[in-house]
Amino acid sequence: MASRQMHLGVFVLGTGNHIAGWRYPGAADSFQDLGVIQQIARTAERGRFDLIFLGDGLSAGPDDHPSFTARFEPITMLAALAATTTHIGLGATASTTYGEPFSVARAFASLDHLSSGRAAWNAVTSSNGRAGANFGRAHPPHAERYAVAEEFVDVVRGLWDCWEDGAILADRTTGRYIDAGKVHKLRHKGRYFEVEGPLNIGRCPQGQPVVLQAGASAPGQALAARTADVVFAVVQDLEEARASYAGFKALLPRYGRAAEDVAILPGVMPVLGATQEEALQKLAVLQSFVDESNALSMLSGRLGTDMSAYPLDGPVPDLPLPDSSHGFARTMLAKARRDGMKLRDLYNLTAAARGHWVLCGTPETVADTLEEWFATGAADGFNILPPYFPGGFDDFVDQVVPLLQARGLFRHDYAGRTLRQHLGLARPACRPPVLAD
């Protein structure tokens, strides 16, 4: 058995990660169906996945990805899943731009208790500028969003540490319920937030919920290197992935962290068939369902430019990096230059996986490729983005996971109950706030 094991997450969009996945025969067509989400969670747990992950957004329009347009609030949905699962980690997005640290800390601490230690918070800065209109304010520029995020994450983690283990006594003999010496105020006063604390919930089963991040800009990488436990990466090319992986791991020592303290999981959309030709045909069917306006809207959002002004069969224009979605834009534009893409090619890539890597082939080919990336310094595992649910995910769990297990690359069973245990991360010691006299 290999000493190093792959980590696997699944990115859950109820209609599928492909923009037209809901049109594939047998696919779910709603992200507002709890039964579908419960089925996905059961499949992930059967496949011994580390976690399921729910992205989120704070604005929607009819031309967006169907699962972005109509979906449950993710913490509410994960709380429901906590009652019907036993091992799978439960990760969700909450915005540092439009949220409040106390509310976010309380929600994820609650989820960690409800799930007996399986909660994970994806700290994002909300790149979509339309979100501001739903909160009555202008969308902040990139640099300010990350300055806010730095302080936000510190406040949330500080609130999680306001309670020490054993603070709740519930001693019926003495009548003493709380050990006041083990509950601490935060009294944070910063540039963006003033938070007194403490949080009104005891210390989490995991000590602190797992922190997820996906920022690819320099500020995003710095924040992730300092605070994240798992980083979701957007890559298209093996050498590019190796360079990105090495560059991020090299940042960790400056924050007193080791390479094994953070798992890097590139996003990958596997499209499987009994033969290569069958897999390519399945992808062709999915692509034939794509509505041009939806795909162009998504591509425009990713690149920060209205792409409807450019001919689809012309070259990809030379565009500056947008203020938002740096990682997606950088990866897609680099691939377009590297492969000599036309704009239509980039449009199709975005429709398929929103800029993530599409891996099309037999189960053996997919397992071989994932093993190569894992073994040669490009990934610690993968965030799987099935093109449609439930069948696209069932295929991966039933056909690829057994191959990875047989090669000693992935667990046959869970070794613990908490997400930190799945990830091989120690339960962090409580560091109560140090208050000035």
Mean pLDDT value across residues 250-254:
97
The percentage of the chain sitting over the pLDDT mark of 90, rounded to a whole number, equals 65
pLDDT score for 335:
67
At residue 351, the pLDDT reads 63
Q: Give the pTM.
A: 0.88
The mean pLDDT value for 63-69 works out to 68
**342-374 residue pLDDT tens:** 777 676 666 666 667 889 999 999 999 999 999
Name residues whose C-beta falls within 8 Å of residue 368's C-beta, 6 or more positions apart in sequence.
none
Supply the CATH classification number for the domain 7-274+357-423.
3.20.20.30
User: Distance between alpha carbon 114 and the CA centroid of its chain, in Å?
Assistant: 21
Using the predicted structure, report yes or no on whether residue 380 has a pLDDT greater than 60. yes
What is the per-residue pLDDT for 312? 75
Residue 63, pLDDT > 90, answer no
User: Structure tokens of 47?
Assistant: 């496949």
pLDDT reported for residue 383: 97
CA distance 268 to 277: 19
- Of 142-156, 257-271, 273-287, 307-321, the range with the lowest mean pLDDT is 307-321
Confidence of residue 437 (pLDDT cuts 50, 70, 90): very low
* Alpha carbon distance 176, 169 (integer Å): 7
Report the percentage of the chain scoring pLDDT > 70: 88
- Model confidence at 302, in pLDDT bands (50, 70, 90)? low
Cα atoms in the Cβ-side hemisphere of radius 13 Å centred on 289: 16
The 3-state DSSP class for residue 53 equals: strand
Rounded distance between C-alpha atoms, residue 173 and residue 94, angstroms: 42
Asked if pLDDT for residue 133 goes beyond 90, the answer is no
C-alpha count within 13 angstroms, C-beta hemisphere, residue 122? 23
Contact 263, 229 (CB under 8 A): yes
pLDDT tens-digit series, residues 207-235? 999 999 987 788 899 999 999 999 999 88
Alpha carbons 380 and 249: distance in angstroms, whole number: 11
Q: Residues near 1 by Cβ (< 8 Å), separated by ≥ 6? A: 408
294 SS3 class: helix
Backbone angles phi, psi at 382, to 5 degrees: -145, 145
Length of the chain, please? 437
Q: At what angle do helices 34-46 and 74-82 cross, to 10 degrees?
A: 60
Q: Backbone dihedral region of 9: left (phi > 0), alpha (psi from -120 to 50 degrees) or beta?
A: beta
E-only strand ranges, 307-348: none
Check residue 215 and report its DSSP letter: -
- In the chain, where the domains are located: 7-274+357-423
Which run of H or E residues covers position 182? none
In angstroms, rounded to a whole number, what is the distance separating the alpha carbons of residues 343 and 320?
15
Q: Where are the alpha helices (DSSP H) in 252-314?
A: 276-288, 292-303
Which sign does the torsion angle of CA 191, 193, 196, 202 carry? negative
The pLDDT score that the predictor gives to residue 1 is 40
The span from the CA of 6 to the CA of 411, in Å, is 8
Distance, in Å, from the CA atom of 127 to the CA atom of 145, rounded to the nearest integer, reads: 9
pLDDT digits (tens, 9 = 90+) for 153-201: 999 999 999 999 999 999 999 999 999 999 999 999 999 999 999 999 9
pLDDT digits over 102-130, tens only? 999 999 999 999 999 999 999 999 877 77
What does the pLDDT read at residue 308? Answer: 75
Mean pLDDT within 81-95: 96
State which of 95-99, 307-311, 333-337 shows the largest mean pLDDT. Answer: 95-99
Average pLDDT of the chain, as a whole number: 89
Name the most confidently modeled range: 296-305, 353-362, 417-426: 417-426
* Angle of CA points 17, 59, 41, to nearest 5°: 35
Of residues 42 and 32, more confidence is placed in: 42
* pLDDT recorded at residue 344: 72
Q: Which of 276, 393, 424, 399 is nearest to 26 (CA)?
A: 393
